């Protein structure tokens, strides 16, 4: 077989194998993340009624919203390392059952203290789901396809906000039914699906390609060969996790820093966008939910169509830089504009949320392997996600100080501009295959 024929055969096998993976894995993983994100962020739509019933100030609400991320981030690394040992099927099932029960239990909080405690417990329960699934995707997809796969998975966040906000708004209208507040019904109804779906996940999710009955031996061989050829140069595939290795890798720490900024932007808007929109004028909870969903439609469009173009190191960096810049510009428009222009600005910023995030999470696999990759992804999520605590807290604090729910947007804009500069400095090291191709070209000369 000629070299050209070999390349055509490889491309054909790649298309066949990737199509099977997208068909059998991605819909289930997206649904899991939709439920997860609804359960962690539904307090945003319930804020107004919860604050009245529980006596929460803007600062108290922001603190409670952010406390989720303290335990969530603390448990990310051990959770990912455990998943690498026991398998994705068992561990994702465990995560889903515990977070579903605790999310439903949020209906029974009675004041600021119990609100804080339940948010901490919810963070601990859900810890490891996101980095665990990102690690799981590295078992199935090569570098060229990984950003697209991560971007597709992150559609769960967009769909959660598109569906979750109107759903939450509708459930809030059950206020008084059965002697419960509307926000109590919301937590109960939205927490139960995670527990039910967990048992289905345990029944059908394969731990690795060789366990998938819907893959042929040729499919499995293609995946394993592809992943081995993309292993970072000089990195042992059985590499053990080490904090020292992670913290002394300048590229990795730069990725952590820009992801921290990204999470401040995403979660601040997630938790405070309903309040910002509500400041435009009086509206029903359902209308508020529908308007809140609009920027997440833009995020879904961006996350679905753009990450597939980040299939080389150069393109990834260009899209990373332009993504952060677009987010900053969108937030500026959101802060200065009125109801219509402001919402357009939030759409511009949100359209790049998951383009940027999908690219960020492809970098660790170009730097690490084995348990080091598992722990590295957990560490990236752990340190970066603390922005989800820091951002909402600062937004709430600035709102209390200024009386404006959009005051925190300028804080986010400043950090996004710093992240734009940081993204321009990120470099990907070569893979084994890239080094082999370079050596082959030298030999030809």
135 vs 65, more confident: 135
Which residue's structure tokens are 């990120």? 426
Question: In angstroms, how far is CA 132 from the centroid of its own chain?
Answer: 11
Residue 5 lies in a domain: no
Q: Is the pLDDT of residue 1 over 60?
A: no
Query: For residues 374 and 82, is the Cβ–Cβ distance under 8 A?
Result: no
Q: Is the pLDDT of residue 443 over 70?
A: no
Residue 237 lies in a domain: no
Q: Is the pLDDT of residue 2 over 60?
A: no
Query: For residues 277 and 295, is the Cβ–Cβ distance under 8 A?
Result: no
Give the end of a domain, one of 201, 229, 257: 229
* Residues 202 and 87 both lie in one domain: yes
192: domain range?
A: 18-229
* Residues 220 and 368 both lie in one domain: no
Q: What pLDDT sits at residue 31?
A: 93
Give the end of a domain, one of 199, 229, 259: 229
Measured CA to CA, the distance from residue 308 to residue 355 in angstroms comes to: 9
Q: What pLDDT sits at residue 360?
A: 95
> Helix crossing, 88-105 with 112-126: angle to 10°?
170
Contacts of 235 (CB under 8 A, 6+ apart): 367, 368, 369, 372
Measured CA to CA, the distance from residue 28 to residue 108 in angstroms comes to: 30
DSSP for 176-192 reads TGGG--HHHHHHHHHHH
Q: Is the pLDDT of residue 27 over 70?
A: yes
Measured CA to CA, the distance from residue 345 to residue 298 in angstroms comes to: 11
* Residues 155 and 280 both lie in one domain: no
In the chain, % of residues over pLDDT 70? 93
* Residues 117 and 56 both lie in one domain: yes
Return the closest-CA partner of residue 75 out of 437, 379, 418: 379
* Residues 135 and 275 both lie in one domain: no
Per-residue confidence band for 195, with pLDDT thresholds at 50, 70 and 90: very high
Measured CA to CA, the distance from residue 204 to residue 31 in angstroms comes to: 14
What does pLDDT average to over the chain?
A: 87
* Residues 412 and 370 both lie in one domain: yes
Per-residue confidence band for 445, with pLDDT thresholds at 50, 70 and 90: low
Residue 442 lies in a domain: no
Per-residue confidence band for 436, with pLDDT thresholds at 50, 70 and 90: low
* Residues 215 and 282 both lie in one domain: no
Q: Is the pLDDT of residue 208 over 90?
A: yes
Q: What pLDDT sits at residue 439?
A: 58
Per-residue confidence band for 434, with pLDDT thresholds at 50, 70 and 90: low
Q: What pLDDT sits at residue 438?
A: 58
Residue 435 lies in a domain: no
Measured CA to CA, the distance from residue 324 to residue 303 in angstroms comes to: 14
Measured CA to CA, the distance from residue 10 to residue 341 in angstroms comes to: 48
Question: pLDDT digits over 313-360, tens only?
Answer: 889 999 999 999 999 999 999 988 888 898 999 999 999 999 999 999
Question: pLDDT digits over 242-257, tens only?
Answer: 999 999 999 999 999 9
Helix (H, G, I), strand (E, B) or coil at 232: strand
Burial 13-50 (b: 16+ CB within 10 A, else e): bbeebbebbbebbbeebbbbbbbbbbbbbbbbbbbbbb
* Residues 198 and 272 both lie in one domain: no
- Looking at residue 240, what DSSP letter applies? P
The count of structural domains within the chain is 2
The domain that holds 422 is classified in CATH as 1.20.1250.20
Beta strands in 235-326 (DSSP E): none
Residue 6 lies in a domain: no
* Residues 215 and 331 both lie in one domain: no
Question: pLDDT digits over 146-171, tens only?
Answer: 989 999 998 887 888 778 878 888 88
230 vs 341, more confident: 341
* Residues 225 and 268 both lie in one domain: no
CA 315 vs CA 187, 258, 307, 311, 384: distances in Å = 42, 17, 10, 7, 23
DSSP H or E segment with residue 145: helix 143-153
* Residues 171 and 269 both lie in one domain: no
Residue 128 lies in a domain: yes
What values do phi and psi take at 57, rounded to 5? -80, 175
Tell me the mean pLDDT in the region 117-136: 91
Q: Around Cβ 175, how many Cβ atoms within 10 Å? A: 16
Return the closest-CA partner of residue 391 out of 283, 270, 298: 270
Query: For residues 133 and 149, is the Cβ–Cβ distance under 8 A?
Result: no
408 vs 29, more confident: 29
Measured CA to CA, the distance from residue 48 to residue 325 in angstroms comes to: 32
CA atoms within 13 A on the CB side of 192: 6
Residue 147 lies in a domain: yes
The residues that bridge with 232 in the sheet, in sequence order, are 431
* Residues 74 and 173 both lie in one domain: yes
Least confidently predicted of 51-55, 86-90, 259-263: 51-55
Q: Is the pLDDT of residue 41 over 80?
A: no
Q: Is the pLDDT of residue 431 over 80?
A: no
Rounded to a whole number of angstroms, the CA Rg of the chain reads 22
Q: Is the pLDDT of residue 441 over 80?
A: no
Residue 80 lies in a domain: yes
Helix (H, G, I), strand (E, B) or coil at 431: strand
In the chain, % of residues over pLDDT 90? 43
Can you say whether residue 54 is alpha, beta or left, with left for phi > 0 and alpha for psi between -120 and 50 degrees?
A: alpha
Measured CA to CA, the distance from residue 386 to residue 405 in angstroms comes to: 21
CA 310 vs CA 92, 119, 314, 387, 417: distances in Å = 28, 35, 8, 25, 21
Q: What pLDDT sits at residue 317?
A: 93
Question: pLDDT digits over 254-303, tens only?
Answer: 999 999 999 999 888 877 788 888 888 878 877 887 888 899 889 989 98
424 vs 389, more confident: 424
Least confidently predicted of 117-126, 175-184, 411-420: 175-184
- Looking at residue 363, what DSSP letter applies? S
Measured CA to CA, the distance from residue 45 to residue 270 in angstroms comes to: 10
């Amino acid at each position: 077989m000629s070299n050209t024929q070999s390349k055509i055969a490889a491309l054909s096998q790649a298309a066949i194998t990737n199509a099977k993976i997208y068909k059998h894995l991605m819909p289930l993983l997206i649904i899991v993340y939709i439920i997860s994100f609804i359960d962690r962020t539904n307090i945003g739509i319930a804020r107004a009624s919860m604050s009245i019933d529980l006596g929460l100030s803007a600062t108290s609400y922001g603190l409670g919203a952010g406390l989720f991320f303290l335990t969530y981030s603390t448990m990310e690394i051990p959770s990912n390392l455990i998943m690498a040992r026991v398998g994705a099927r068992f561990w994702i099932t465990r995560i889903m059952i515990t977070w579903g029960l605790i999310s439903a239990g949020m209906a029974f909080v009675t004041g600021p203290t119990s609100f804080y405690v339940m948010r901490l417990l919810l963070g601990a329960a859900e810890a490891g789901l996101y980095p665990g699934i990102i690690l799981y995707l590295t078992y199935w997809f090569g570098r060229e396809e990984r950003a697209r796969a991560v971007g597709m998975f992150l559609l769960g966040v967009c769909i959660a906000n598109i569906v979750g906000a109107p759903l939450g708004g509708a459930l809030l209208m059950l206020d008084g039914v059965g002697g419960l507040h509307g926000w109590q019904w919301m937590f109960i109804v939205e927490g139960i699906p995670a527990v039910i779906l967990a048992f289905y996940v345990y029944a059908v999710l394969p731990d690795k390609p060789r366990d998938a009955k819907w893959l042929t031996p040729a499919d499995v061989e293609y995946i394993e060969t592809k992943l081995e050829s993309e292993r970072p140069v000089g990195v042992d595939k059985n590499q053990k996790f080490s904090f020292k290795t992670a913290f002394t890798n300048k590229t990795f720490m730069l990725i952590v820093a820009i992801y921290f900024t990204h999470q401040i932007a995403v979660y601040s808007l997630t938790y405070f966008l309903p309040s910002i929109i509500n400041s435009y004028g009086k509206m029903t909870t359902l209308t508020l939910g529908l308007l809140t969903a609009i920027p997440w439609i833009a995020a879904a469009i961006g996350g679905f169509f753009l990450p597939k173009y980040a299939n080389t190191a150069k393109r990834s960096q260009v899209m990373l830089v332009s993504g952060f810049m677009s987010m900053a510009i969108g937030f500026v428009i959101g802060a200065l504009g009125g109801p219509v222009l402001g919402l357009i600005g939030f759409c511009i910023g949100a359209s790049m949320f998951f383009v940027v995030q999908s690219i960020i999470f492809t970098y660790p696999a170009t730097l690490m392997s084995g348990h080091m990759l598992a722990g590295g992804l957990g560490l990236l999520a752990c340190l970066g996600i603390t922005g989800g605590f820091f951002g909402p807290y600062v937004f709430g604090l600035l709102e209390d100080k200024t009386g404006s729910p959009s005051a925190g947007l300028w804080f986010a804009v400043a950090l996004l501009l710093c992240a734009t500069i940081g993204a321009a400095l990120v470099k990907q090291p070569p893979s084994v295959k890239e080094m082999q191709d370079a050596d082959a070209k030298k030999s030809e000369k």
